[in-house]
Structure 1
Amino acid sequence: MNAASQPAQDPWAELRQTTQARIGLGRAGNSLPSRRVLEFKAAHSAARDAVHEPLDVADLTQQISDLGSESALHVSSRAGSRGEYLRRPDLGRQPADLAHLPDTGADVGIVLADGLSPRALIDHGRGLLAALIDELGPRFSIAPPVIATQARVALGDHIGEALGAQTVIVIIGERPGLSVADSLGIYLTHLPRPGRSDADRNCISNIHPPDGLDYSTAAAITAALVVGARTLGRSGVALKDTSRAQLTEGGTGVVDHPVVTADTVE
């Protein structure tokens, strides 16, 4: 075969190895190649399924039953169905009933919330919770984990206050995209209570190994934020995670002891 008859090398092939974004899709006449159209439809279906599939609370409870923590508790929001949850975000921020939650006075409360991707919680909830317990357990008292359904992030403020936890960590399924449908986020709020705003929280997102942030790194960053929040007396915009800077300065690719600093601006 001479050079003129050999298939042209795909100039996008190497770049595709570095991103999950859809780049260099090609063309077939005036349209996309059938393969790319089918890939898009499959990803869109996976994202829709991730949003609408209800969380199997019994399955998740069983998954985390051997982690050495107390038995998981269950809380639901005031959204009575998945459809109402999607139409009424405000109801997802309000608890239906918290009377059964104990006032533990714990240093840390952990909430596992279905959010907009219950699938993410099933895929990664146990692994991330185990990493958090390993990281936080030796230093802080941890309340029994709480599984929250039809939940938005702010539901954790009510749960954290009911538990008497000084800091609440909400593990929640993130909004699915066309590249990732099972990503988790962590939202940390110090001194949780109803009425806290997003400015009072710190977020760690894109947790979905092997392609996203791994459990141990997410847990190490979270632990550093807990220490920083307790030192500063608050979380949110005043609390800064500087652990990623260590990656570029040290060049090791490993964060052994993340450092958190606070803004001096009031």
Structure 2
Amino acid sequence: MDKITHVVEEQPLNFLKEFTAARIAIGATGNSIPTRQSLEFKLAHAHARDAVYSIMDTERLEDELAQFHRPVLQLHSMADNRARYLQRPDLGRKPNQESLNRLADQITGDDIVIVIADGLSAIALNQHIMALLQVLIPKLLAAGLKVGPLCLVQQGRVAIGDDIAHELQAKLSVVLIGERPGLSAADSMGAYLTYQPRPGLKDNSRNCISNIRPGGLGIATAADKIFYLVQESFRRKLSGVQLKDNQGLLGS
């Protein structure tokens, strides 16, 4: 009986792999992909699932956030568990009544409120949020901006920042949230900035900075971009589609 062998075809686009983590030039063995690439795909898919169901380490984060000498508020959306959160996105956009009561006791009318929400990857927050805040918060304070309570939100989505900041009477919200994991990254954070936040705003009212992680948009660069947009937002008194990120462009 003849021995059947499969030869992995060489990929002419292999040189592009050094520029991206995307799945390109994975090769072929007969009519299928090579075993190694197949196993790597399954592992990445498992990492993505784990990220979606990961839990924010609120106790550790609360302890570490104490270094910024700001009140730390533990809040929760109307989605009381992960299954509910995934099935009912609308519930993740609103704080529950207990959280509203807690916010009512903290009204200070600060310039900025920072909302830290688990989103779809609490792993991202657990791993990267402190490094980002250690760069960002000193920049905001050095610019003379009043930073209000740091809000840790479980089962939260982006829009929950509108309600939280509105309740605290803050002029601007910065929501730092775990992004939907992909098959090349399960630990990405997103930053969403909204001027004059209030319930009912649409996505076009916010600015977004995405893929914040060591293997994507670096922590220091992300902090610079957030700080730039915060300054521009206060200067122009707006956010969203009318506020462009022109940082670093020629002639800016």
What's the TM-score once normalised by structure 1's chain length?
0.86
Counterpart in the other structure of 1:100 = 102
Gapped runs of 5+ residues in structure 2? 1-7
* Counterpart-to-counterpart distance in 2, 1:234 and 1:242: 15
1:60 is matched with 61
Pair 8,32 (structure 1): closer, same or farther in 2 beyond 3 Å: closer
Gaps of 5+ in 1: 1-6, 250-258, 260-266
Residue by residue over 1:207-252, the C-alpha shift from the partner in whole angstroms, topping out at 9 and shown as x without a partner, is 001x211222212211221122122222111111101425xx8xxx
CA distance in 2, matches of 1:19, 1:30: 25
* Secondary structure, counterpart of 2:234 in structure 1: helix
- In the alignment, which residue of structure 2 is the partner of 1:38? 39
The one-letter code matched in structure 1 to 2:102 is H
SS for the counterpart of 1:100 is: helix
Report whether the alignment pairs 1:47 with 2:48. Answer: yes
Cα drift, residue 80 of structure 1: 0.8
Aligned to 2:118: 114
State the SS of the aligned residue for 2:175.
strand
CA shift, 1:70, in A, is 1.6
Question: How many angstroms does 1:186 deviate by?
Answer: 0.4
CA distance in 2, matches of 1:79, 1:107: 28
Tell me which amino acid in the other structure corresponds to 1:136.
L
Q: Name 1:255's counterpart in structure 2.
A: none
Pair 1:239-2:240 in alignment = no
Residue of structure 2 equivalent to 1:4:
none
C-alpha contact 1:50 1:119 (8 A) present in aligned 2? yes
Higher helix share: 2
Conserved in 1, the CA contact under 8 Å of 2:11 and 2:27?
no
Q: Which whole-Å CA distance do the structure 1 matches of 2:82 and 2:195 have between them? A: 29
2:149 equivalent to 1:144: yes
Counterpart position of 1:85: 85
- Which structure ranks higher in relative contact order (CA pairs < 8 Å, sequence separation ≥ 6)? 2
Give how far 1:59 is off.
Answer: 2.0
RMSD (Å) for aligned C-alpha atoms: 1.7
Is 1:128 aligned with 2:129?
no
Q: State percent identity of aligned pairs.
A: 46
SS of residue paired to 2:186: coil
Q: Secondary structure at the match of 2:116?
A: strand
- Checking the alignment, whether the CA contact within 8 Å between 2:175 and 2:193 is kept in structure 1 is yes
SS at match of 1:241: coil
| Alignment-derived partner of residue 170 in structure 2 | 165
Matched residue of 1:234: which SS?
Answer: coil
Deviation (angstroms), 1:8: 9.0
Question: Which aligned segments of 4 or more residues in structure 1 are displaced greater than 6 angstroms?
Answer: none
Per the TM alignment, residue 162 of structure 1 is displaced from its structure 2 partner at its CA by 1.5
Between the aligned partners of 1:174 and 1:128, the Cα distance in structure 2 is 15
